[in-house]
Structure 1
Amino acid sequence: MKTKQHQWMFKATVMTLALILLSGLLAPHFIKQLVAKEMDSLHIQQAEPKEDKHAVYEPVLPDYTVKYGRDFAAHDSFHHDVWHYRANLKGNDGQEYGVQWTVYRIANGDHQGIGWNNAQIYTAQVVVSTANHSWSQQRISRGGIGQAGVMMYPFRLWIDDWSWVSNNNFAMPSHLMVKTDDFKVSLNNASYGPFVLNGDKGYKKTHDLMSIASYSFSAPFLKTKGTLTLNGREVKVQGLAWLDKEWGNHLISTPSLRWDSFNLHLTDGRVLSLTQYHNSQNIRYISGTLSRKNGSTTIIKNDEVRIYPLERQRLLNGKELPLRWVIELPKYQISLITQSLNKELWLPFWVPSWEGPIVVTGSHKGVGFMQLTGY
């Protein structure tokens, strides 16, 4: 009995340390709240470890050639990887559903140890939402001990019993399986169009005046179908989905940086991806692509698009956020207004943000997702 109790306490301590080690990436008040909550619930007192300021990671340079079958994998020589999946679904009950699944790999040092000496930490978040309800959960696990990781030949990404599994290295076609006490997600995904390199051939800058960048590509042309089980009720669903893969060394470069991100499936068959970055001087930099399923992709330049809030709304938690936006690309005859399906989707995960499904109207109709980070 004591052995089991000690194992549980050891695992809990590691999870707490994982949260603390991530503190260098986030605004201090966010991480302090999370760590304090975790410490209180576990009744564990642990000295805060010092951040590894001497860690050296591979530089993010513009001459890197992205290869999809290779780069869906984890890049342990860089500070982090992010796999970000979103799906706009219609249920056989007539309701609209949104599904979000995000996995982060974070290194707390540049040493490549094995077992408990492994430097990699994985955290995963899942959210299912309707117009009136949402279900969500977050998990944190260590790499190197089998709790979480990425395998290739073929591709498998997992954390505990949550997994994204494919029969090849391109992560498509794939099966997403997430199980919790309150809900379950089981979705089969297949691509109907090409992958898209974001930024300059996969080299994505996040500020016009800074050499802060990442590598990024997307699988925006996805169809998905499967089932959602919500509080014991199973619903068959199908719809459109989007998968982003990004890696580098600046997950959040400064506490003052914030961004507004939009990923849209338009009814004319095109997909539009736009992210507007802000810094403390209110200088904005926009990264975006407009792609067709025939393989043609247009890079959206900073002066070709206007993104501005149309209406701010107050959430139940007291936050006031810009949840309706105008997106204008005159050169491409695109003028859109966004509308969130459920405004109460502030996600208090370790990277706090508002993220949820949206619809767009105007010159085109469509569906997609919006993410507001840093507010």
Structure 2
Amino acid sequence: MNAKALWTAAFLLLTSPSLLAAQGFAGMGSDAEGFNTPSPDTALVFPADHGPHPDYRIEWWYLTANMKGPDGTAYGLQWTLFRSALAPFATEGWDSPQIWFGNAAVTTPTNHYTAERFARGGTGQAGVTATPFEAWIDEWHMRGADWGALSLSAAGTAFRYDIQLKAKGPLVLHGDSGYSVKSSQGQASYYYSQPFFDLSGTLDLPEGTIPVTGTAWLDREWSSQPLASDQTGWDWFSLSFESGDKLMGFRLRQADGSYYTSGTWITKAGGATPIPNGRFDATPLETSDVNGVAIPTGWQVVVPDYGVDVSVQASNAQAWMDMAVPYWEGPVRVTGSHDGIGYLEMTGYEQE
């Protein structure tokens, strides 16, 4: 397949509303013929699995952070590198079927700044190496000798950040030792996180340079068909409580109005326990008009097994990611049975 055909296919996959609706959000429910699919019998191996898996169709390196400036102002940060394959192999040069795209954002109490990049695999413009670890697209990067200490940078027209990350806890494997089921039909991904990063660095915003400190959560996930064809989007929560415990949970919205849910309870020492389908509940309490779309920006999250009954409120309701595939993502405040902070990602609302 020539370069023009590859780019055309990738663009259609990313932007066609009819295709997205018919094959799950962003085409993630379409048939994965020719690609590898996750198996519960496969053990994750580190540091090798920090690197790319070109025989799977899609994967990402996804970091979110809650930060504060010297005056106590709260900020949010996102850095994401996606790989999407049009065929299950990697080659050098412009015939590579690997497509890379990056999203970056900074959220303040009153503004939400975003940027987006696209690249082809095989040209050196974007990629990931496991040892030493480096993920990059153009001049954006996340790198370090290993996942214990990483540097992070990105820039858009109205922002820039340079951040240092230090891990203060272990990696967390979601689902069954990293095998994360996403539907009652059995679609799944490999999924793990480093939710214990401490953070320091600088934000450059229109008002100037701001030193920041905080915490960050780095997700890794890959699959070939992670969604069922009738799943229209998801609502994903990563919550860090003042107790030191953490909660990851998501609900996948299905065309008939039902949900598939999953989650992980993470102790402050790093112990992880799966939360099975139906035991994580997230209910919208209020919506906001965001880019002409009604987005739920206030939630009640309940996990009875761990005594969790909290209100999750967007710090800035207008945290809309106006990208090739648009979605909402931003920092949140948590109050109730557990107080804390976190991040919320919501996809698929533009198609509903």
- Asked if residue 202 in structure 1 is aligned to residue 202 in structure 2, the reply is no
- Asked if residue 211 in structure 1 is aligned to residue 211 in structure 2, the reply is no
State the TM-score, normalized to the length of structure 2: 0.90
The CA deviation at 1:16 is: 9.5
The CA deviation at 1:238 is: 0.5
Q: Which runs of 5 or more structure 2 residues have no equivalent in the other structure?
A: 21-29
- Corresponding pairs, count: 339
- Asked if residue 331 in structure 1 is aligned to residue 305 in structure 2, the reply is yes
**What is the root-mean-square deviation of aligned Cα atoms in Å?**
2.3
The CA deviation at 1:310 is: 1.0
State the TM-score, normalized to the length of structure 1: 0.85
Tell whether the 8 Å contact from 1:165 to 1:175 is kept in structure 2 after alignment.
yes
The CA deviation at 1:116 is: 1.2
In the aligned structure 2, how far is the partner of 1:121 from the partner of 1:95? 37
2:333: which partner in 1? 359
In the aligned structure 1, how far is the partner of 2:336 from the partner of 2:197? 24
1:342 alignment partner, one of 300, 316, 320: 316
The CA deviation at 1:184 is: 1.1
3-state SS of 2:261 partner: strand
The CA deviation at 1:331 is: 2.4
- Cα separation, partners in 2 of 1:286 and 1:149, compared to 1, 3 Å: same
The CA deviation at 1:252 is: 5.3
1:271 alignment partner, one of 223, 236, 246: 246
Quick check: which one's helix share is greater? 1
Tell whether the 8 Å contact from 2:298 to 2:314 is kept in structure 1 after alignment.
yes
1:254: which partner in 2? 229
- Asked if residue 21 in structure 1 is aligned to residue 26 in structure 2, the reply is no
1:110: which partner in 2? 88
3-state SS of 1:322 partner: strand
Most deviating of 129-138 and 253-262: 253-262
In the aligned structure 1, how far is the partner of 2:219 from the partner of 2:254? 23
3-state SS of 2:47 partner: helix
In the aligned structure 2, how far is the partner of 1:92 from the partner of 1:112? 45
Tell whether the 8 Å contact from 1:30 to 1:350 is kept in structure 2 after alignment.
no
Q: Once the two structures are superposed, what CA deviation does each residue of 1:227-276 show, in whole Å capped at 9, x if it has no partner?
A: 01112711000001100000010255537522111000100000100010
Q: Once the two structures are superposed, what CA deviation does each residue of 1:67-126 show, in whole Å capped at 9, x if it has no partner?
A: 231111000111111111000000124311000111101111124322112111110000
Amino acid at match of 1:334: V
Identify the structure with bigger relative contact order (alpha carbons < 8 Å, sequence gap 6+): 2
In the aligned structure 2, how far is the partner of 1:53 from the partner of 1:193? 37
- Cα separation, partners in 2 of 1:199 and 1:281, compared to 1, 3 Å: same
The CA deviation at 1:302 is: 2.4
Aligned counterparts, 1:8-87, within 5 A: 18=7, 20-24=9-13, 27-28=16-17, 56-87=34-65
- Asked if residue 150 in structure 1 is aligned to residue 124 in structure 2, the reply is no
In the aligned structure 1, how far is the partner of 2:227 from the partner of 2:276? 23
Q: Which runs of 5 or more structure 1 residues have no equivalent in the other structure?
A: 1-12, 32-51
Most deviating of 52-61 and 283-292: 52-61
Aligned counterparts, 1:123-138, within 5 A: 123-138=101-116
Tell whether the 8 Å contact from 2:66 to 2:215 is kept in structure 1 after alignment.
yes
Amino acid at match of 1:262: F
- Asked if residue 179 in structure 1 is aligned to residue 155 in structure 2, the reply is yes
The CA deviation at 1:295 is: 3.0
- Cα separation, partners in 2 of 1:320 and 1:62, compared to 1, 3 Å: same
4+ residue runs over 4 A deviation: 13-17, 52-55
Amino acid at match of 1:164: M
In the aligned structure 1, how far is the partner of 2:101 from the partner of 2:323? 10
Tell whether the 8 Å contact from 1:89 to 1:240 is kept in structure 2 after alignment.
yes
In the aligned structure 2, how far is the partner of 1:109 from the partner of 1:212? 20
1:35: which partner in 2? none
- Cα separation, partners in 2 of 1:130 and 1:234, compared to 1, 3 Å: same
Q: Once the two structures are superposed, what CA deviation does each residue of 1:322-345 show, in whole Å capped at 9, x if it has no partner?
A: 111111122211110011011111
Tell whether the 8 Å contact from 2:183 to 2:227 is kept in structure 1 after alignment.
no
In the aligned structure 1, how far is the partner of 2:130 from the partner of 2:278? 40
- Asked if residue 89 in structure 1 is aligned to residue 67 in structure 2, the reply is yes
1:42: which partner in 2? none
Amino acid at match of 2:178: G
2:118 alignment partner, one of 128, 140, 145: 140
- Asked if residue 313 in structure 1 is aligned to residue 288 in structure 2, the reply is yes
Tell whether the 8 Å contact from 2:104 to 2:155 is kept in structure 1 after alignment.
no
In the aligned structure 2, how far is the partner of 1:16 from the partner of 1:314? 37
In the aligned structure 1, how far is the partner of 2:243 from the partner of 2:237? 17
2:141: which partner in 1? 163
3-state SS of 2:94 partner: helix
The CA deviation at 1:23 is: 2.6
Question: Percentage identity across aligned positions?
Answer: 33
The CA deviation at 1:211 is: 2.1
Q: Once the two structures are superposed, what CA deviation does each residue of 1:39-63 show, in whole Å capped at 9, x if it has no partner?
A: xxxxxxxxxxxxx989611121111
1:43: which partner in 2? none
Name which one, 1 or 2, has greater alpha-carbon Rg.
Answer: 1
